[in-house]
């Protein structure tokens, strides 16, 4: 693995939030930049929140428990438990994790500078015809 490994399951993103705690220290020179940093902080919670909700758990509770944990501590949705992800073998390549974040930021920037976006053109479909009443006993 070219750049190493990080804990998987969204844990590395939760740990990255700590680096974004203080918008002024990062260099946010105005309110808009500080708002953007806060949006990124919330977006970094999304992978773990989604994993937890797909496992039938409350996403916010799981995110807070993982955030309170140390380093490689995360939520194992398969076992419904919290554990050290390196010991459990739940890992992601660092390069993949980094590129996912960089590409998401790139697309967000593209959408912010685009005047109009067509996401999906709805198809107009006719209502289906009523089925025949065959096989319905007592009707004739």
> What pLDDT is stored for residue 88 in this prediction?
93
> What pLDDT is stored for residue 133 in this prediction?
63
Q: Residue 134 CA to chain centroid, in angstroms?
A: 49
> What pLDDT is stored for residue 27 in this prediction?
76
Looking at residue 3, the DSSP 8-state letter turns out to be: S
Regarding pTM above 0.75, the answer is no
Residue 7: strand, helix, or coil: strand
What CATH superfamily classification does 5-112 receive?
Answer: GroEL-like equatorial domain (1.10.560.10)
Cβ atoms of 13 and 67 within 8 Å: the answer is no
pLDDT averaged over every residue in the chain: 87
Q: What is the mean pLDDT of residues 121-139?
A: 72
Q: Which residues of 125-140 are buried (b: 16+ CB within 10 A; e: fewer)?
A: eeeeeeeeeeeeeeee
CA 1/CA 34 separation, integer angstroms: 34
Whether pLDDT at 139 is above 60 = no
Domain-wise residue ranges, the chain: 5-112
Instruction: Give me the sign of the Cα torsion angle 54, 57, 63, 67.
Output: negative
Q: pLDDT: is 58 or 33 the higher one?
A: 58
Q: Phi/psi zone of residue 125: left (φ > 0), alpha (ψ -120 to 50 degrees), beta?
A: beta
Q: What is the mean pLDDT of residues 62-86?
A: 94
User: Which 3-state string (H, E, C) describes 35-56?
Assistant: HHHHHHHHHHHHHHHHHHHHCC
Cβ atoms of 41 and 35 within 8 Å: the answer is no
């Amino acid at each position: 693995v070219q750049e190493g490994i990080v804990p998987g399951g969204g844990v590395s993103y939760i740990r990255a939030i700590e680096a974004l705690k203080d918008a002024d220290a990062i260099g946010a020179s105005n309110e808009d930049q500080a708002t953007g940093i806060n949006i990124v902080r919330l977006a970094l919670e999304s992978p773990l929140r989604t994993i937890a909700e797909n496992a039938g758990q409350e996403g916010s509770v799981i995110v807070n428990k993982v955030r309170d944990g140390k380093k490689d501590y995360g939520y194992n949705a398969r076992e419904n438990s919290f554990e050290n992800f390196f010991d459990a073998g739940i890992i992601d390549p660092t390069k993949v994790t980094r590129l996912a974040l960089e590409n998401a930021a790139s697309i967000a920037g593209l959408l912010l500078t685009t005047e109009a976006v067509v996401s999906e053109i709805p198809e107009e479909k006719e209502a289906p015809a009523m089925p025949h009443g065959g096989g319905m006993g007592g009707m004739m």
